[in-house]
Amino acid sequence: MDPSSQYRLEDIIDNVSTDCVIFGFQQSMLEILLYKRALNPCKGMWALPGGFLNKGELIEEAARRILYNTTGLHNIYLEEIGVFDQIDRFPEWRVFTIGFFALISPENDKLITSNEYTLEAKWFKLNELPELAWDHKHIVDIARDKLKTRVQNKPVGFELLPNKFTLPQLQTLYEVILDKSLDKRNFRKKLINMKLLKKLNEKDKNNIKRPADLYSFDKKRYKTLVKQGFLFEM
């Protein structure tokens, strides 16, 4: 199949693309969502959802369009992580790609698992990634670093959680992203100071012996903190 059938060359900016690393948190692990390509170039390989910019389109608009077309998701947390400009990153000609990461909650968000561009979608643990197309492994590595910094100055970690969560779940999320153990008492004290959590009148039934309290987060307060920035030193 001719790769140019994906788009009309006159409609796109052929040296600017976007690629998106989608992070999800499930079974106490940080994972990323990859798609197996149905079309050339790199047909049959696992890759990040990505594509060229349309003329007259902003980069974030392109990222959201491509993300929606590939995954069916919209209105999700998206953040630019920088430009990838290695001379031969796209062997056919020089293409600059602007990387993003997206944070989703696999439990909340329903995904498309295949479409005309992809054969299959699959969650992968970060230490068990398959071989990826182009420089996508490098983009994943940079996204991982940025996520680590980001959760320390904005409360975006919450985007990865289901609507109702327990404090142990929340702590595990931060431990997995920051890649270190956190002191339980200290962690809870800091959370309480942020005034971000709402305790619900419900318990998590997964642990039958000791059902944990469920929490949600205060969306109004959350928005203020995302805007202001905060420092969540652990």
> Dihedral angle at the C-alpha atoms of 200, 23, 231, 60, nearest 10 degrees?
-110
Please tell me the distance from the alpha carbon of residue 112 to that of residue 110, in angstroms, as a whole number: 7
Our CB check for its own copies shows the closer of 62 and 121 to be: 62
Active site residue 128: no
The full length of the chain comes to: 234
Stretch binding its own copies (CB under 8 A), from 94-102, 131-139, 159-167, 218-226: 94-102
- Chain residues 120-159 in contact with its own copies, contact rule CB under 8 A: 149, 152-153
Our CB check for its own copies shows the closer of 31 and 135 to be: 135
Our CB check for its own copies shows the closer of 115 and 152 to be: 152
Our CB check for its own copies shows the closer of 70 and 97 to be: 97
For the record, the structure tokens of 177 come out as 């992203």
**One residue of 32, 98, 104, 143 binding its own copies per CB under 8 A:** 98
If one asks whether residue 231 binds its own copies (CB under 8 A), the answer comes out as: yes
- Chain residues 24-63 in contact with its own copies, contact rule CB under 8 A: 55-56, 58-59
**One residue of 86, 108, 181, 224 binding its own copies per CB under 8 A:** 86
x/- mask, its own copies, residues 201-220, rule CB under 8 A, reads: --------------------
If one asks whether residue 186 binds its own copies (CB under 8 A), the answer comes out as: no
Which of 79, 120, 159, 175 is catalytic? The answer is 120
Stretch binding its own copies (CB under 8 A), from 8-16, 124-132, 193-201, 211-219: 8-16
Is residue 204 within 8 A of residue 184, CB to CB? The reply is no
Burial class (CB in 10 A: 0-12, 13-18, 19+), 83: exposed
Is residue 111 within 8 A of residue 32, CB to CB? The reply is no
Residues acting as catalytic residues? 120
- Which residues of this chain interact with its own copies, rule CB under 8 A? 13, 15-16, 55-56, 58-59, 80, 82-83, 85-87, 94, 96, 98, 149, 152-153, 229, 231, 233
